[in-house]
Structure 1
Amino acid sequence: MHRSVATAVLSLALLALSGCKGPCRELSEKLCECSANTLEREVCIRRASNDEAFIEPTSQDEAVCEQRLETCDCNNLETDEGKIACGLAR
């Protein structure tokens, strides 16, 4: 349950520019795909898409998301290192 809450928060916080998928939108969707629950995954992706109109990441945000896309791995998401790599922890 904690992972789905963290994923939802990240989806709200890190969304890409309208019109195309930037690194933050891609990261949000990647984290949504980590969910084993199909319904939860679909809701997460839909939320990321809908919230895109309200949050516009800066170029610095996009650079951070780009780095996290390279290091974020669903298989390690339950570890502290995995959460840090995906931007879900400090």
Structure 2
Amino acid sequence: MTNGNFEYRLDQVETIAAILVTHVEAIDSRLEQVTTKLDGLTSNVDTLAALMAQQIHENELDRQQAAADRAQVRSLVEALTQRFSSNGHS
């Protein structure tokens, strides 16, 4: 291999290396963007999960209150029925 040939090949390798560095930097930049977006999505999912847990808890409290209200209404109906029956009404 002549010295000129060696220099030519070395220039090619340096050019390819520079191109590779540019591509790696671009890929790294894109990965940072993707990471940032994923972090945002993770935060949104965490917020949504917390809101859903809160809603489930509130729904359970509402269900318990509705059951208590039904029991109270049932008790009042029974008391009124007994009172109505004890007054001689059938």
Q: TM-score range by the shorter chain?
A: under 0.3
- Structure 1 length normalisation: TM-score? 0.21
More helix per residue: 2
- Structure 2 length normalisation: TM-score? 0.21
Greater Rg by CA: 2
Bigger RCO of structures 1 and 2 (CA < 8 A, at least 6 apart): 1
